[in-house]
Amino acid sequence: MKLAPDNLPNDIDLLKQLLLETLAAKDAEIAELKQSVQRLLEQFRQAQQQRFGASSESHDYQGELFNEAEVTLDEPVESTADDVSVSPKKRAKRKPLPKDLPREVIIHDISDQDKQCDCCGHQLALMGQDSSEKLKFIPAQIKVIEHVRLKYSCKHCDTKGTQANIKQAPVPVSPIPKGFATPSLLSQLITSKYQYALPLYRQETLFKQHGIELSRQTMSDWMMKSAALFKPLYDLLHQHLLTQGVLHADETTLKVINDERVKSYMWVYCSGADGPSIEPRYQGLNNIVLYDYQDGSRASTCVSGFLATEHAVFNGYLQVDGYAAYQRANDKLVGCWAHARRKFKDAIVAQGKNNTGKMSKADMALNMIAKLYRIERQIQSLSLEERLYFRRTHSSAQLATFKQWLDKSATQVSKQSALGQAIHYSLNQWPKLSRYLEDSRLNIDNNRAERAVKPFVIGRKNWLFNHNHRGAEASAILYSIIETAKANGLTPFDYIEHCLEQLSHPNCDLNSLLPWRVNLSKA
């Protein structure tokens, strides 16, 4: 606000007060502008990092935490005056090829003439042999299985003019009735698309190389029908999932063409470990990964609807990120330290290069979080009781130190800055972040779910979108079957082929198809 000279007071004290108020207002305006500029710079740096930067979440000061004797055994030891020689670095040994692979032995021998000694002319004697293994790849073979059903009729009835009595073998069961797709062909198409992210139009070109016209429309119809066959097994896995004591959940975006929303969402729920594990914390838990698509919604009703069905209700711990939909669906939420750590990493990126040589507040936070992770690595193989004791004696103390640091830093940093957002995220999530101390089966982060959702994200980059909701639901079922098979140490192709063979029968025993019970041995 501009003041005309004639409007200024003549009193010196009033003039001083007016000047101080004006300067204070200007200082506040300048500080606000500086904060705005700083926020814009942080957003710019974060955008650059997301666009061009590496995705690693490591930071420069991590090395200082692990530079200790018990974790530096692999470092070279300085030689002394008494050392005569230094042992050479051990060369990595190549793993042998599996013994159960088909083998073709080729003998390489010298000629009979060369089997004479060049010195005395006597016959050379076989003293041994050297062998080496080479791996040969044989392209997939395609063949036609022709089913011939013989017909039998009664000639006597034909001559007497009575009703003809014709007998014939029943039609063999097939996953796609009246279709020529076998379980092995369907398994190849499903794993190629959902495990190896090979879109159907690319598979169409592969079949053309073998002279087979197999359109993507036909394959798409087979995907839908295969998913319908797997739906009862998916529902059974869903019931088993809800009986687990600990679940992990996450969600990711999905583009559906016939949906008015810009973004749809695919949910993922998982239990147990990524693969077969002997760690005590995973004993008694089933390794299950289930994707859930509920018309692309991201509402809290999607979570509550999945976790409570007419057959079972989930009452265990649910480990998630900070999305509010989970809070309204479950009371026993466990936070994710990987998300908290990621926000401090983003703060380092937003702040730009640190030329002072001093450790920033974001680095301090990352160091304290790294200590929590270090404790978790030390207790991986301990029993449940030992893990719980170790956490409550060591992790609890480290958490208390970090919480005190967060409370103090929250009063020193702008809430709108990237660092301030990271600090307040941790404070707001603190009851959930510290809940992993309650039960030794719990993980420190939700990386189990983030790893489970990654195959879907990779596939999405290749096939980009689903055409409609039915296609997205089919994708959720088939992804679930593949990822659950992998988590139980099964080969997805073999498991899917076996399941399709069994599910084609009307009275299939679903319990025998559960990944931790199924028998894939072939007679």
In whole angstroms, give the CA distance from residue 7 to residue 339. Answer: 57
- Please give the pLDDT value at position 72: 36
In this structure, the answer to whether residues 420 and 452 fall within a common structural domain is no
Q: Check: CB of residue 287 under 8 Å from CB of residue 311.
A: no
In this structure, the answer to whether residues 362 and 427 fall within a common structural domain is yes
CATH number of the domain bearing residue 311: 3.30.420
Measured CA distances, 415 to 50, 274, 400 (Å): 22, 37, 22
In this structure, the answer to whether residues 305 and 348 fall within a common structural domain is no
Q: What angle do CA 219, 224, 225 make, to 5 degrees?
A: 95
498 in a structural domain: no
- Please give the pLDDT value at position 69: 35
Q: Check: CB of residue 412 under 8 Å from CB of residue 365.
A: no
Beta bridge partners of 270: 248, 289
Q: Domain range holding 380? A: 337-437
- Please give the pLDDT value at position 70: 37
In whole angstroms, give the CA distance from residue 471 to residue 319. Answer: 28
In this structure, the answer to whether residues 324 and 341 fall within a common structural domain is no
Domain count, the chain: 2
In this structure, the answer to whether residues 409 and 319 fall within a common structural domain is no
- Please give the pLDDT value at position 401: 95
- Structure tokens, 387: 């893990």
186 in a structural domain: no
Q: At what angle do helices 12-52 and 337-351 cross, to 10 degrees?
A: 110
In whole angstroms, give the CA distance from residue 332 to residue 337. Answer: 16
In this structure, the answer to whether residues 257 and 329 fall within a common structural domain is yes
Rg (CA), the chain: 33
360 in a structural domain: yes
Place of tokens 């208390």: 400
Map residue 162 onto helix, strand or coil: coil
In this structure, the answer to whether residues 244 and 326 fall within a common structural domain is yes
41-57 residue pLDDT tens? 656 666 666 666 565 55
In this structure, the answer to whether residues 239 and 298 fall within a common structural domain is yes
Residues of the chain with pLDDT below 50 are 60-86, 523
In this structure, the answer to whether residues 283 and 318 fall within a common structural domain is yes
Strands (E), 197-304: 246-254, 264-271, 288-292
282-330 residue pLDDT tens? 888 899 999 999 887 888 889 999 999 888 899 999 999 988 888 877 7
In this structure, the answer to whether residues 315 and 391 fall within a common structural domain is no
Map residue 372 onto helix, strand or coil: helix
In whole angstroms, give the CA distance from residue 364 to residue 243. Answer: 40
In this structure, the answer to whether residues 316 and 465 fall within a common structural domain is yes
Q: How many CB atoms lie within 10 A of CB 60?
A: 11
pTM across the whole model: 0.78
In this structure, the answer to whether residues 326 and 356 fall within a common structural domain is no
390 in a structural domain: yes
375 in a structural domain: yes
Map residue 96 onto helix, strand or coil: coil
240 in a structural domain: yes
Q: Check: CB of residue 253 under 8 Å from CB of residue 293.
A: no
159 in a structural domain: no
In whole angstroms, give the CA distance from residue 410 to residue 354. Answer: 21
504 in a structural domain: no
End-to-end, the C-alpha distance of the chain in Å comes to: 92
Beta bridge partners of 151: 168
* HEC profile of 307-359: HECCCCECCCEEECCCCHHHHCCCCCEECCHHHHHHHHHHHHHHHCCCCCCCC
- Please give the pLDDT value at position 217: 92
Map residue 141 onto helix, strand or coil: coil
Place of tokens 């974001």: 362
- Structure tokens, 182: 């076998």
